[in-house]
Amino acid sequence: MKKGEAVERLVRMSEVLERTRLSRATIYRKMARGEFPRSVQIGVNSVAWHSSDFEAWLREPMSWEAAPLA
């Protein structure tokens, strides 16, 4: 990592649920439609979101578009 480079924080499901006030099912439904950032697997039963993606969605939830899969 370069000097001055920000460390990407991971946002856990509990924080996503609290800050969005959406249900778990709604979050996964929106992810499937590309209307919510994709999660990353961080454990056998744990997922999280990159804070930059999550914060961008919070700023503009109606205009969020997931990046195409590579």
- Tens digits of residue pLDDT in 6-65: 678 999 999 999 999 999 999 999 999 999 999 999 999 999 999 999 999 999 998 877
Angle formed at CA 37 by CA 55 and CA 49, multiple of 5 degrees: 70
Q: Which residues contact 2 (CB under 8 A, 6 or more apart)?
A: none
Give how far Cα 43 sits from Cα of 19, 25, 47, Å: 22, 19, 7
DSSP 63: G
Q: What is the pTM of this model?
A: 0.81
The 3-state DSSP class for residue 52 equals helix
pLDDT reading at 1 higher than 60: no
